[in-house]
């Protein structure tokens, strides 16, 4: 599908993944509207394209703001979501479900009345159950309970997927569902204890915490992808005209302990590492079966190596907190 000249709306377009997606879409010649309330996203994330996009600021939990955001949209990339790290998510299931449901219902009410030419919704690997295979392919959305540590958020994403499928079917609107795994990047906005794992660990190491405390056993393994690569994959699957559900991530995993050691090495820091098994760690291994994604998006092979991304996160720490990284 040609993106050149298309009226494209990116909800959550000022956020971590959304802002890189906006960069990709502008580069392809799309006319981009960013709909965001800047609760977590930042204008600064859009600095490189600010004179080539339109911003519609508003809280998409309000129906009127959603209707205004989607006005004239030919393609909708829906990324806006209240999404936090495991520390917040594991304690606030109902609030996360309720926030995200309001956004979902407003989006789909608006699109049921006036469908777009294509809808992409951003779900999450948190829809998958904890007892699934370590390397997860695109399982059906209702299959056991979603990830326990992200139970409310996981249900919100399952409902987003299912409701979007119903509206797509009723309106004959092509629908793409993407399920990113763990995404990180230097456009991350620090939100204290609610922050996600990589920014949290980078901050601990760079702040000189001694010991650095890791939640759970520290042996839990995750796949990490830089947000720029995730955004490139999202743009590419829509550009390829892909309709259906696809994971975004790769099979590679690293343990939390391995991650800290890598951050220390890259930053030239030393730290004792202590695990706290009383804290949630989520599932043991969460790796992405990217077989389908590779077929739709061969560019996946050129993803940023984790070490390079972590070096960028060390620079992020300096910019975010005004410190100087050593090493
Ligand atoms: N980062 C990850 O590891 C990850 C993994 C899987 C799925 N996802 C999904 O990808 C999408 C983007 O995530 P992200 O990591 O870029 O998060 P993010 O928080 O950086 O981006 C979300 C954006 O949505 C905006 N937003 C939130 N609530 C809003 C509201 N009510 N009205 C208007 N704007 C609102 C925020 O200001 C922010 O700019 C989300 O749907 C998230 O659930 C992220």
Domain residue extents for the chain: 7-183+224-248, 190-222+252-283+304-321
- The alpha carbon of 78 and the centre of ligand 1 are apart by a number of angstroms equal to 9
Atom of ligand 1 nearest to the CA of 187: 20
Cβ of 12 closer than 6 Å to ligand 1, yes or no, is: yes
Specify the pTM. 0.97
Atom of ligand 1 nearest to the CA of 13: 39
Task: Return the minimum-mean-pLDDT range out of 4-13, 22-31, 140-149.
Answer: 140-149
Cβ of 247 closer than 6 Å to ligand 1, yes or no, is: no
The model's confidence at residue 326, banded by pLDDT at 50, 70 and 90, is very low
pLDDT at residue number 312? 98
The model's confidence at residue 323, banded by pLDDT at 50, 70 and 90, is low
Q: For the chain, give the mean pLDDT.
A: 95
User: Mean of the pLDDT values across residues 249-259?
Assistant: 97
Cβ of 16 closer than 6 Å to ligand 1, yes or no, is: yes
The DSSP bridge partners found for residue 288 are 136
274, 204 contact by CB (below 8 A): no
Whole-angstrom distance, CA of residue 186 vs CA of residue 228: 10
Atom of ligand 1 nearest to the CA of 122: 41
Whether residue 189 has pLDDT greater than 90: yes
Whether residue 296 has pLDDT greater than 90: yes
Can you name the CATH fold of 7-183+224-248? Answer: Rossmann fold (3.40.50)
- The alpha carbon of 206 and the centre of ligand 1 are apart by a number of angstroms equal to 25
Cβ of 57 closer than 6 Å to ligand 1, yes or no, is: no
pLDDT at residue number 86? 87
Cβ of 36 closer than 6 Å to ligand 1, yes or no, is: yes
DSSP state of 224: E
The model's confidence at residue 325, banded by pLDDT at 50, 70 and 90, is very low
- The alpha carbon of 271 and the centre of ligand 1 are apart by a number of angstroms equal to 32
Atom of ligand 1 nearest to the CA of 157: 43
pLDDT at residue number 280? 81
Cβ of 60 closer than 6 Å to ligand 1, yes or no, is: yes
190, 164 contact by CB (below 8 A): no
User: Whose C-alpha lies nearest to ligand 1, atom 12?
Assistant: 79
Cβ of 101 closer than 6 Å to ligand 1, yes or no, is: no
298, 148 contact by CB (below 8 A): no
pLDDT at residue number 36? 98
281, 220 contact by CB (below 8 A): yes
User: 175-180 and 244-248 as β-strands: parallel, antiparallel, unpaired?
Assistant: parallel
Q: Which of 77, 78, 180 is nearest to 128 (CA)?
A: 180
Q: Residue 17 has which token pair?
A: 């993944």
User: Mean of the pLDDT values across residues 248-268?
Assistant: 97
User: Whose C-alpha lies nearest to ligand 1, atom 18?
Assistant: 15
User: Mean of the pLDDT values across residues 270-297?
Assistant: 93
User: Whose C-alpha lies nearest to ligand 1, atom 41?
Assistant: 79
pLDDT at residue number 64? 98
pLDDT at residue number 78? 99
Whether residue 240 has pLDDT greater than 50: yes
Whole-angstrom distance, CA of residue 70 vs CA of residue 88: 30
Whether residue 18 has pLDDT greater than 80: yes
**23 compared with 143, residue with greater pLDDT:** 23
Atom of ligand 1 nearest to the CA of 59: 32
User: Mean of the pLDDT values across residues 1-24?
Assistant: 97
User: Mean of the pLDDT values across residues 118-139?
Assistant: 96
The CATH classification of domain 190-222+252-283+304-321, taken from the options 3.90.550.10, 2.40.420.20, 3.90.25.10, 1.10.3720.10: 3.90.25.10
The model's confidence at residue 187, banded by pLDDT at 50, 70 and 90, is very high
Q: Residue 14 has which token pair?
A: 């000022």
- The alpha carbon of 83 and the centre of ligand 1 are apart by a number of angstroms equal to 6
- The alpha carbon of 217 and the centre of ligand 1 are apart by a number of angstroms equal to 28
pLDDT digits (tens, 9 = 90+) for 87-104: 899 999 999 999 999 999
Asked whether the CA dihedral 180, 185, 197, 34 is positive or negative, the reply is: negative
């Amino acid at each position: 599908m040609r993106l050149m000249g298309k009226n494209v709306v990116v909800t959550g377009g000022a956020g971590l993944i959304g802002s890189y997606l906006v960069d990709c879409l502008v580069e392809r010649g799309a006319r981009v509207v960013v709909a965001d309330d800047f609760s977590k996203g930042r204008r600064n994330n859009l600095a490189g394209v600010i004179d080539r996009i339109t911003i519609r600021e508003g809280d998409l939990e309000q129906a009127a703001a959603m209707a205004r955001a989607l006005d004239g949209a030919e393609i909708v990339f829906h990324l806006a979501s209240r999404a936090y790290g495991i520390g917040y998510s594991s304690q606030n299931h109902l609030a996360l479900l309720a926030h995200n449901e309001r956004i979902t219902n407003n989006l789909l009410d608006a699109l049921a009345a006036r469908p777009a030419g294509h809808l992409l919704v951003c779900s999450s690997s948190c829809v998958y159950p904890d007892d699934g295979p370590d390397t997860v392919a695109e399982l059906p959305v209702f299959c056991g309970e979603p990830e326990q540590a992200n139970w409310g958020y996981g249900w919100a994403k399952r409902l987003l997927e299912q409701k979007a499928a119903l509206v797509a079917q009723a309106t004959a609107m092509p629908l793409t569902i993407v399920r990113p795994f763990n995404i990180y990047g230097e456009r991350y906005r620090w939100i204290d204890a609610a922050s996600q794992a990589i920014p949290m660990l980078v901050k601990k190491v760079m702040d000189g915490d001694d010991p650095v405390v890791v939640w759970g056993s520290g042996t839990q393994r995750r796949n990490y992808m830089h947000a720029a690569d995730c955004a490139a994959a999202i743009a590419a699957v829509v550009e390829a005209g892909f309709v259906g559900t696809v994971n975004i991530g790769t099979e590679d995993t690293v343990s939390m302990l391995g991650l800290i050691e890598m951050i220390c090495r890259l930053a030239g820091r030393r730290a004792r590492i202590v695990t706290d098994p009383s804290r949630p760690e989520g599932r043991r291994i969460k790796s992405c079966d990217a077989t389908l994604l590779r077929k739709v998006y061969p560019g996946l092979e050129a993803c940023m190596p984790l070490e390079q991304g972590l070096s960028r996160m060390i620079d992020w720490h300096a910019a975010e907190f005004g410190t100087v990284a050593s090493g």
